[in-house]
Amino acid sequence: MAMKTMRGGCLCGGVTYEVSGPLRPIVACHCVQCRKTSGHYVAATQALVSDVSVNGETLAWYRSSDHAERGFCSRCGSNLFWRRMDYPRMSIFAGTIDGPTGLRIESQLYAESAGDYYDLPDAPVVSQASVA
């Protein structure tokens, strides 16, 4: 069976991407950085960097820690990606994928940092190291 190419992008269309390989189930992250950059918790899938093709001139990267950076559109501000330095996979914010994904939240990280205004998703809380 052929793998379906998934497409997505930012709000203004300045950044688009295609993923030609498999996507990991969704992980919800409640860490302070994810909440600050997204305005809520982040729900992200993940793919091999080599399976992701990004197009557009408005993609910018922000080094958010010593080990990771976040990709966003410098025109509309859409948060698109998170990647660990020197790691073969990158996270893709699930809300930026066009059309149905068929993915579901499988687990979540940093539940202790969740905002007090929402209930946690019905998914196991796992340690950050086990989902890298």
Full residue range of the structural domain in which residue 93 is found:
6-116
Residue 128 lies in a domain: no
Taking only the tens place, the pLDDT of each residue in 79-128 is 999 999 999 999 999 999 998 999 999 999 999 999 999 999 888 888 65
Residue 103 lies in a domain: yes
The tally of domains found in the chain comes to 1
Residue 125 lies in a domain: no
- From edge to edge, which strands make up the β-sheet containing 26-29? 59-63, 68-73, 79-84, 89-93, 42-48, 26-29, 105-109
Q: What is the spatial distance between Cα 36 and Cα 39, in angstroms, rounded to a whole number? A: 6
Do the strands 26-29 and 105-109 form a parallel or antiparallel pair, or are they unpaired? Answer: parallel
The reported pLDDT for the residue numbered 132 is: 46
Residue 57 lies in a domain: yes
Coil, strand, or helix at residue 44?
strand
The reported pLDDT for the residue numbered 14 is: 98
Find the CATH number of the domain harbouring 33.
Answer: 2.170.150.70
- Per-residue pLDDT, averaged over 7-35, amounts to 96
| pTM score above 0.75 | yes
Residue 81 lies in a domain: yes
Residue 101 lies in a domain: yes
- Per-residue pLDDT, averaged over 41-67, amounts to 96
DSSP string, 53-93: EEE-S-EEEEE-SSSEEEEEETTT--EEEEEETT-SEEEEE
Residue 126 lies in a domain: no
Residue 121 lies in a domain: no
